[in-house]
Structure 1
């Protein structure tokens, strides 16, 4: 038996639409991500558990975990029956890499359970294909950080899918999910088919400035560059009082604020735990819309997918 945890992730990071992603971990030592347990079995079995398991498709064949098992078996050219338990701890269509977490946890668990027949690149490619099932295009900005941790720049070159990006360990990422769904397809539908030259130039400035600031350890400069001109101007109308919340958390001490992935989760960055707690309190009181919603103070998860059990947090 093997149990794998894959952390939640923030895609885009405001300046890197579809090419930047970060794995996150709550500072209170709580897991924020899906878990997959695999046991030996004579026939394939899939059981869904967890707080958000009722949001999963009724049909097993529509479940991403089944699809991950199916594509894994096709890749290794051998049917491997197993008993899989998916613990769905992330809400679906939340902007926290929910689908990526399930995909990563399942494929990593299968690969380890069967003595690692696939290499890292092969696993990542399968992860990207499975993400296409959710967003209609191959995406790596959630699966790669969930798999390998940290902040990743997605290149999608033939022999170089991603690059590691340095990050500030003193940054606190306060995330808030309001308790409602917002599908990736709906979020993408509001985006324009083309952008002005001015917007393209500004986005290039923001992205290059952000990457440069990370590598040169300029925290304030990095935060000041996190302005989204590609998605936020169009997606913010889908999020209740987005601009008002931005102004209010800036007054509290936020140095950067944006939409996590395609939303509706939002994030705010600060460098002080006291300020982070104040922002979290603000989100809980003003952004959460029902009892399902939550807010966590997080930092970057440097590990990514890992074994859970006697050797908890073991790096794979």
Structure 2
């Protein structure tokens, strides 16, 4: 965020809106083989933020709906309000502007679908829109990353980048932050199933090995490169044989009941690939076409029901737009 601090912004207070309402999408981080560097946005679920300009200076949260009381109303502890305060301080108007926030969660917390990032992106996109869009999406990105740092202790961009930019994104590097949008094949769909079991992000990260075998690293590099080539070429066969994870999945799968049976079901249904969404427990069947994605997700959900595990299902194409104004 150092480069942002050097830039001067001229705000036209006559362009500040009285209120905005924004939807920001859920995301599938890692895209199976690209741990912490790849991700894509989906059409649904996601989170919604309504933001209001008020006379009393400061940032406050009016209400949070859909979180079962899990999220803090304290403006310094909630990632949405904390990041809004950060951005206002960056613009030098934290003592001039009053903002109140209503957050509606349309997605489960701890699902592995970027719940915190969707909220943060919605909040930052909303305040930027309220102010007349003084910052570009690229300039908003570091504030989104800070929201992830507040939420889970690790400032990664594999969720916030696709949530903010839309489509499929590659985080090339963090110093400086360098995010690249990748092509989205028209027929690429995701069949997502969220088994309602608890897999905290921090616990999932602690399982990951700090050192890996060189042969495994080479395999993973090849898969990531193959996947990116497949996206550019719209080559679904190449995408399919590249989306395999030999580094992270073997350890994280331990935390997800019935993971390998779900994988077998998805691939038998015709999915291109199958893996963990983010840190889990949500799983994703990547497919060519909506019908295959729907079938794979439905069969997985039926299996989980037989195992007495409740689940939620989402089927979506890749959301290429990212956050959007609802008003």
**TM over 0.5, shorter chain:** yes
Question: Which residue does 2:14 correspond to in 1?
Answer: none
2:292 counterpart of 1:279: no
Structure 1 alignment gaps of length 5 or more: 26-30, 310-316
Question: Could you tell me how far apart the structure 2 residues matched to 1:176 and 1:287 are?
Answer: 10
- CA deviations on 1:261-295 (whole Å, 9 max, x unpaired) are 0101000022243333322222322236666x310
Question: Which residue does 1:71 correspond to in 2?
Answer: 86
Deviation of 1:76 (Å):
1.1
- Aligned partner of 2:221 among 201, 204, 221: 204
Give the 3 Å change call, closer, same or farther, for CA 83–16 of structure 1 in structure 2. Answer: same
- CA deviations on 1:40-92 (whole Å, 9 max, x unpaired) are 21334313343335231354432111211221122112212111111111211
Matches within 5 A, 1:15-34: 15-25=33-43, 31-34=44-47
2:160 counterpart of 1:143: yes
Aligned length: 303
- Aligned partner of 2:138 among 121, 128, 133: 121
> Given that residues 48 and 88 in structure 1 are in contact (C-alpha distance below 8 angstroms), is that contact kept between their aligned partners in structure 2?
no
Question: Could you tell me how far apart the structure 2 residues matched to 1:65 and 1:247 are?
Answer: 38
Larger CA deviation: 258-267 vs 45-54: 45-54
Larger CA deviation: 112-121 vs 238-247: 112-121
TM-score normalized by the length of structure 2: 0.87
Deviation of 1:117 (Å):
2.9
> Given that residues 226 and 239 in structure 2 are in contact (C-alpha distance below 8 angstroms), is that contact kept between their aligned partners in structure 1?
yes
Deviation of 1:10 (Å):
0.5
Question: Which residue does 1:48 correspond to in 2?
Answer: 63
Matches within 5 A, 1:1-316: 1-25=19-43, 31-43=44-56, 44-57=59-72, 59-79=74-94, 80-156=97-173, 161-287=178-304, 293-309=311-327
- CA deviations on 1:161-189 (whole Å, 9 max, x unpaired) are 21111122212210011123322110001
Question: Could you tell me how far apart the structure 2 residues matched to 1:157 and 1:132 are?
Answer: 13
Question: Could you tell me how far apart the structure 2 residues matched to 1:121 and 1:272 are?
Answer: 31
Question: Could you tell me how far apart the structure 1 residues matched to 2:45 and 2:319 are?
Answer: 10
> Given that residues 83 and 146 in structure 2 are in contact (C-alpha distance below 8 angstroms), is that contact kept between their aligned partners in structure 1?
no
Structure 2 alignment gaps of length 5 or more: 1-18
Question: Could you tell me how far apart the structure 2 residues matched to 1:156 and 1:191 are?
Answer: 20
Deviation of 1:157 (Å):
6.0
> Given that residues 257 and 269 in structure 1 are in contact (C-alpha distance below 8 angstroms), is that contact kept between their aligned partners in structure 2?
yes
